[in-house]
Amino acid sequence: MAMTASSRSASAAGAQDGERSPFARLTELLSAYTPGKPLINMSIGEPQHPVPGFVGPVLASHINEFGRYPIAKGIEPFRQAAAAWISRRFGLAKAIDPETEILVLNGSREGLFFAAIAAARYVGPRKGTPAILMPNPFYPAYAAGARAAGCEAVFLPTTRENGFLPDLDSLSAETLDRTVAFYLASPANPQGSVPSRAYFDRVKQLADRHGFIVLSDECYSEIYTGEAPGSMLASAGHDFANVVAFQSLSKRSNLPGLRVGFVAGDKNFLARFHELRNVAAPQVPVPLQHVAVAAYSDETHVDENRRLYRIKFDLADQILGNRFGYRRPAGGFCIWLDVSAHGGDEAATVKLFKEGGVRVIPGSYLARPQADGSNPGTGYIRVALVQQDSETTAEALHRMVDVLNEARG
């Protein structure tokens, strides 16, 4: 039976907490305690692997270009490099046109936020209150974008039962007819789930039938230990109608501080998006775009990055086994652990910090309560395996097992 939008919307009480940064809430939760052992922070998904060696020399060679205002769409070498990379990486049936089908972003977060506003303007009036769909748990920029766009955020619970992906069968025609945009994350954050090609195809069919924009967040696409994740763009046809994909160098190239990414896809939507960003969004400094050109032209550092993550996931396989419902994710660098048997996500987070010096984040802080009061993040913790060395990762995982005192199942 199709679920109504109201059955998935956040409750008023939950929305109040949900509109705050989950990390601010975490700081408050732990403020009364001191870590019981030297702190290992696994709460923030900030890559800590080494910065690629080409960054410094490229910046130095373009240092004078900090004296120029950047153009909003991105310099031509960047657009060409990014378009060539994404076309090659995902085997797109038609290569991305660097002139009309790609825009530089000041990191993917600002692009994801502004895209909601652009989508509401581009799609136009809907049959009822305009809505933006998103997975629950979700990246906070999604809900912030929906709110700024004046749209209702419709939260689609992602649970173990539905493979940690939004259940497309639950969407009613009434909800789809008033949808402006659909945020989809692949690999998902926090669970690391990856949609199949058939799933992407179906999302595309729904977007075409009901006239909304798919905002596909693919910033974790290059972090995987098995099969390489696909892209929503591969299901979008030769004109990429109603589909755009967001990419970032933060995870792929260990450059979260560079703040460079891009969006690619539907040229008609991107033309409107460019108009908005040209007057409202932060521009990307030209020297940083040249670093990105080098990054998208090289796969050696990305291969090494994946190797380091593979070592950490091998450790998780060995140390956690099947404790806490652990399963090696299809993509991303986070693990999503069920601690419902240990007092719940907040209690387990406090215990791990207070007794083990391990800082994680409660799953309920990354999600919103549904109208029935349930929160799909409740009972889980997110653990980011981003430490620079595998020894620190192993130490943290051993502490978690010891503190929570869970025997291997």
* Residue 160 tokens, joined: 């173990």
Short-list 24, 233, 216, CA closest to 135: 216
pLDDT digit string (tens) for 246-256? 999 999 999 99
For residues 226 and 85, the answer to whether their CB atoms sit within 8 Å is no
Q: Is the Cβ–Cβ distance between 264 and 233 less than 8 Å?
A: yes
SS3 call for 216: strand
Q: Is residue 367 scored above 80 in pLDDT?
A: yes
| Closest-CA residue to 406 (of 304, 353, 338) | 338
Q: What is the pTM for the complete model shown?
A: 0.94
User: Which are the contacts of 243, defined by CB distance < 8 A and separation ≥ 6?
Assistant: 204, 207, 213, 214, 216, 232, 233, 235, 236, 265, 266
Query: Is residue 7 over pLDDT 60?
Result: no
Q: What is the bridge-based pairing of β-strands 358-359 and 261-265?
A: unpaired
* Cα angle for residues 310, 315, 316 (degrees, 5° grid): 95
Phi, psi of 243 (to 5 degrees): -135, 130
How confident is the model over 39-88, as pLDDT tens digits? Answer: 999 999 999 999 999 999 999 999 999 999 999 999 999 999 999 999 99
How confident is the model over 91-130, as pLDDT tens digits? 999 999 999 999 999 999 999 999 999 999 999 999 999 9
- Using the predicted structure, report yes or no on whether residue 29 has a pLDDT greater than 90: yes
Asked if pLDDT for residue 170 goes beyond 60, the answer is yes
Report, as an integer, the average pLDDT of 275-304. 97
SS3 252: helix
Q: Is the peptide bond before 137 cis (omega within 30 degrees of 0)?
A: yes
| Mean predicted confidence (pLDDT) in 197-204 | 98
Q: Which domains does the chain have, with CATH numbers?
A: 7-50+301-403 (3.90.1150.10), 55-297 (3.40.640.10)
* Res 229 pLDDT > 60: yes
pLDDT at 20: 86
Q: Please report, for residues 100, 191, 247, 354, the alpha-carbon distance to residue 188 in angstroms, rounded to integers and kept in the order given.
A: 28, 6, 14, 29
Report whether pLDDT(5) > 50.
Answer: no
Q: Which residue has the tokens 């060395």?
A: 389
Rounded to whole angstroms, the Cα distance separating 189 from 82 reads: 23
Gap between the Cα atoms of 220 and 198, Å rounded: 20
